Structure 1
Amino acid sequence: MWAPYSLKRNLINNPWALDDFNGWTIKENGGDKWKIEDMPGGLGEEIPNPFVTKYFVTSYRSCKKSQLINLKNEGFSDDIMDNFQPSIVITDWFAGRRDCGCEYELLIQLLSKDKKTLHEFHPKPVVLPEGSNSQWKHITHTFSNYGPGVRYIYFEHGGKDTKTWAGWYGVRVTNSSVIIMI
């Protein structure tokens, strides 16, 4: 059954850090823990989206956060997911600072009703070396023809700085999205 609202929307709750950490589950909170900062932040740059005014930033030990998206609760029936299998497009934005290197990680899993992994996107960590530019970069992945049984999407990202400096010199993340292309 179709929901009375558009199904083609971002399924990530609070992608721009406007509502503190609401919607996110903190998986790892190392070093001085996760923090939210205003764009562009110290030695940072604006993201090419005028609506994004904040970002999440990691510290000197691993920081990871996640969301588990229940597709049925979002209006996607078993029939839609099993028979139509709409493309699932994942995008995440990340940046570092010029004065400290950082590492960025991303894990996306398509899960069954009993939360078993059916498909996974887990690229190698991206290392942004000290002295590199602090421009925002994005990573995108599309799941298609994934077969029946997908009921949840697990989204996890994070990282750390590479110099173990106290404070928030690690990777910055914002503007995350999970969009089902209906």
Structure 2
Amino acid sequence: MARNLIKNPCGEEDLRRWVQVQNGGNGWKVEELPGDCGAAFPRDEISKYFASSFLLCSKSQLIDLLREGYTEEQLDAQPNIVVSDWYAARTDAGCSYELKVQLLSDNHAVIREYNSGNICIPEKTNGSWKQMTYTFSQYGRGVRFIRFTHSGKDSVGWKGWYGVRVTNSSVSIKV
């Protein structure tokens, strides 16, 4: 099984290792599952999630693949790169969610990008968790970094943390 290159994927270390790109409203917050008006997560070992606020919240990690132990030869063979993120809305508030993952060269030029687009979750849902997954393949030579960014906000404008919830983020390389 390939290892997860995302550090602190579930908020066990609060917001450490994440760069808060946009910290709108009340910003990001780590909460315990299932949280107020939330649903249980499908895996028992996951106990926390990141909650966004009423204005856009966005956070990212930049993964240095050479520092993670991959060689240029391994990376230039274009192994599959699998990205995954779990997201959910509260049962009492709608929200929006977006995942963007960029494969970058040694000078941070974008080689390939995946963008889920803005996903709107209406109010009055059951709060169930959904998994977003994408596999990069045949993307070309020269990938040395990966930038993983997810973002969201609530659709009701309530002060606090009523926006999208995210957890169990992952990036793995199938060498």
TM-score band, normalised by shorter chain: over 0.9
Calculate percent identity across the aligned residue pairs.
49
Find the residue that maps to 1:91 and give its secondary structure: strand
TM-score (norm 2): 0.98
Given that 2:39 and 2:126 are in contact with CA atoms closer than 8 Å, whether structure 1 keeps it comes out as: no
Tell me the residue number matched to 2:139. Answer: 146
Structure 1 residue 51: Cα displacement? 1.1
Cα deviation 1:105-146 (Å, max 9, x = unaligned) = 111000000000000001211111001120000110000111
Which consecutive residues of structure 1, in runs of 5 or more, have no partner in the other structure?
A: 1-5
Partner amino acid, structure 2, of 1:166: K
User: In the aligned structure 2, how far is the partner of 1:14 from the partner of 1:80?
Assistant: 25
> Are 1:57 and 2:51 an aligned pair?
yes
Q: Which aligned runs of 4 or more in structure 1 are off by greater than 3 angstroms?
A: none
User: In the aligned structure 1, how far is the partner of 2:117 from the partner of 2:58?
Assistant: 15
Which consecutive residues of structure 2, in runs of 5 or more, have no partner in the other structure?
A: none
1:7-22 to 2 correspondence within 5 Å?
8-22=2-16
User: In the aligned structure 2, how far is the partner of 1:47 from the partner of 1:76?
Assistant: 32
Partner amino acid, structure 2, of 1:77: T
Determine which of 18, 21, 26 is the counterpart of 1:24: 18
Cα deviation 1:3-53 (Å, max 9, x = unaligned) = xxx8x2000000010001111000000101111100000010111111110
Find the residue that maps to 2:133 and give its secondary structure: strand
Give the total of aligned pairs: 175
Find the residue that maps to 1:98 and give its secondary structure: coil
Tell me the residue number matched to 1:128. Answer: 121
1:10-159 to 2 correspondence within 5 Å?
10-82=4-76, 84-159=77-152
Partner amino acid, structure 1, of 2:100: L
Tell me the residue number matched to 1:3. Answer: none
User: In the aligned structure 1, how far is the partner of 2:61 from the partner of 2:27?
Assistant: 18
TM-score (norm 1): 0.94
Given that 2:26 and 2:54 are in contact with CA atoms closer than 8 Å, whether structure 1 keeps it comes out as: yes
Partner amino acid, structure 2, of 1:15: P
